[in-house]
Amino acid sequence: MDENYLLTLAELSLEKDLVRGVSIRGVFALRRSGSTNHILIDDVQYAVLEAFATPQTVPHMLTQAILVGNQVSLSEFYELILKACRAGILTPAAPIGDPRSAAAESARDFPFLSSAAIGFGLVGLTLFATAALARPPTQLPGWEALVIGWVALSCALSVGALWATVVLKATGARPGDAVIYWKTILPRMRVDLRDAHLRPPSEQFAVAIAHVTPAASLAAFALAAEASWSLLPVCGMLIGLAPHSRIVDAIRLLFGETPRLDTERAFVFSANRLPYRRLRAILSFDNRPYLLQFFLGVAWLLLVFQIGYPLIGLNLLDVVVQPSFPLHILLGSAGVFAATSILAFLGLALFATWRRGRRAVVRLVRRLGRWRAMMGAVLSEKEIQRVINDSALFRALAPADRLGLSNKMGIACYHAWEVVYDPSDHQSPISLIARGSARTFHKDSDGRRHPVQTLIEGDLTGAQTLLEPNLPALPVESRTPLITLTLDRRQFEEDILQRLGLQRVERLTHVCSFLRSTPLCRGWNLSAIIRLCELVDIRRLEAGARVASFGMEPIFTIVWSGECEVIRHGAPDGFLKVGQHYGEAELLTARSLSVDIITRTPTRILVVPRSEFLRFVTHNHGVALAIERIASQRLRQPVFPVS
């Protein structure tokens, strides 16, 4: 599944024949007719999918959703689209139509069979619990007994799968094909029973309990007969009744739990598979019946102790009646809780330290690599081609033109803190930074230097007098040992300026270099930054000019040079300095501006109109998530869903 293609270019449409399951506290299953793959969604997410009844791309649909007030977060939106595509609910250029209800696919053949399955299952579980309490196994089995128990348990689980299939089919749902799994510790027959999610909680419970009924009956019989091979069937039942098993989940669903949406677990979208996102999903237990879950867990633990104690020569009742038992339980629970908390804290601390340490190591290695760029260093032909291809300006040229320019370039080396470009030298070449970093600066009247912008690999120096002759040129000084690829000014004008045009070269040179240095774009890929450079409108304003007014249509603004003041309700509310931006929250929430922005000094700003901004954001899901996070931090509440 090509994530980028599906989220940007693919024209998706809603599948014609859809089967919608029974709604359980607002959550229901949806699948394509004839398929067992389904997704659990709610009405809000279903409204998102319904928008694809008219075939369209994801960016177009997301733009419309933002304009009317998006009701899901972007990470949830992208996760929903990808899972719907994987389940066949959204398909490229598929016929459209209205979804049908689950009852329209097949009627219930034997309505009483669910009740019968629940009755048989409860009898089997009761017999197993009674036998486990009355006659638990007292000795470990031998090899012959282990083989007998292993074969008996495999057969019981296979029979349980067939019985659950019969119960599921009787409810009107569609079970999947039966498959025999040989390459596993416990070879058995398995049937895809996921279609049970389309049915009410009682029928889901019937399918779950039918699956373990034969194994429970087998374990009860083995314990009652005191068979030497009873231990394996008993262990199999303990695993089948564990706190997070299928039958326990069905019980919690039956007694008030809201099913978890598919967008809250088992993530498909790459940005959602980050460790912190997965951990947050695991720790979210909203709308769960805590008391029922607690008692089920306690009952399961007591059953485990009742079966496990006799194997080591102890009796659970004798242990419980001891006066010190409550104290031991209290101390043991406190110890387990403390150990779990300490391990969780240490795990999170180690993970955070690893992430920060990894970033620090990457930065240190990059800096050390720059300092290794010493005088007399030689760049290989492969490195020269890589530097040229990674430059925003040279990337705009045809491959043949890039190859021709690489043959005309020279190599220049500089020590750290050496002047790379002096505006007074009108014959200095245009330089492309290959290794190292530099910075532009300006001098005060007293000769003090003030850094303006940091330049890194891929940035150009020396082209300002050609591209912006009306502005004072700034000197460039190396911050580390520096290696540059140089090109004669006349050659630069002939091979680049005349082919690409002055305006485009200025954007790909100075605007792109500036955006790469801002905190907003620092984590973006170069293609997204280049696209933003092509969209911005460069405006030069005098001091006191109005950038934006209260109530007007929002625009996305980035301060390139100078300073702006933000006025809210007639009172100053902060400043926008070089590299800072405004307007992304209003654009994402489809609101008008609530502030006035006025320049305090002669200022250059980069402006992106509303339509172009939304088109840019919706076509770059990584950028969209980053801007959503920034806007949420500014508003101090989630941008989506729009309240």
Residue 414 covered by a domain = yes
Q: How many domains does the chain have?
A: 5
Residue 483 covered by a domain = yes
Report the candidate in 611, 590, 555, 586 with the shortest Cα–Cα distance to residue 66.
Answer: 590
Residue 102 pLDDT grade (very low, low, confident, very high; cuts 50, 70, 90): very low
Mark which of 83, 104, 125 sits at the end of a domain: 104
Residue 44 pLDDT grade (very low, low, confident, very high; cuts 50, 70, 90): very high
- Is 25 within 8 Å of 100 (Cβ atoms)? no
Residues 315 and 329 in one domain: no
Residue 595 covered by a domain = yes
Residue 332 covered by a domain = yes
Residues 359 and 297 in one domain: no
pLDDT > 90? residue 331 = no
Mark which of 517, 550, 582 sits at the end of a domain: 517
- Is 428 within 8 Å of 488 (Cβ atoms)? no
User: Helix 143-170 crosses helix 113-134 at what angle (to 10 degrees)?
Assistant: 160
Residues 303 and 160 in one domain: yes
Residues 623 and 552 in one domain: yes
Residues 48 and 21 in one domain: yes
Which pLDDT value is given to residue 613?
93
Residues 434 and 445 in one domain: yes
Q: What is the mean pLDDT of residues 80-104?
A: 71
Residue 276 covered by a domain = no
Residues 181 and 305 in one domain: yes
Residues 300 and 396 in one domain: no
Residue 187 covered by a domain = yes
Residue 643 covered by a domain = no
Both structure tokens of 227: 């068979």
Residue 128 covered by a domain = yes
> For residue 624, what is the domain's CATH number?
2.60.120.10
User: Helix 113-134 crosses helix 201-224 at what angle (to 10 degrees)?
Assistant: 40
Residues 187 and 311 in one domain: yes
Residues 317 and 345 in one domain: no
pLDDT > 70? residue 96 = no
Which pLDDT value is given to residue 98?
53
Q: At 306, is the secondary structure helix, strand, or coil? A: helix
Residues 49 and 193 in one domain: no
Q: Higher confidence at residue 41 or residue 480?
A: 41
Q: Higher confidence at residue 2 or residue 606?
A: 606
Mark which of 371, 405, 434 sits at the end of a domain: 371
* Domain of 58, in residue numbers: 3-104
pLDDT digits (tens, 9 = 90+) for 218-253: 999 999 998 889 989 999 999 999 888 889 889 888
pLDDT > 50? residue 116 = yes
Q: Is 246 exposed, middle or buried (0-12, 13-18, 19+ CB in 10 A)?
A: buried
pTM of the predicted structure, to 2 decimals: 0.83
pLDDT > 60? residue 285 = no
Which pLDDT value is given to residue 103?
42
Residues 328 and 448 in one domain: no
pLDDT > 80? residue 348 = no
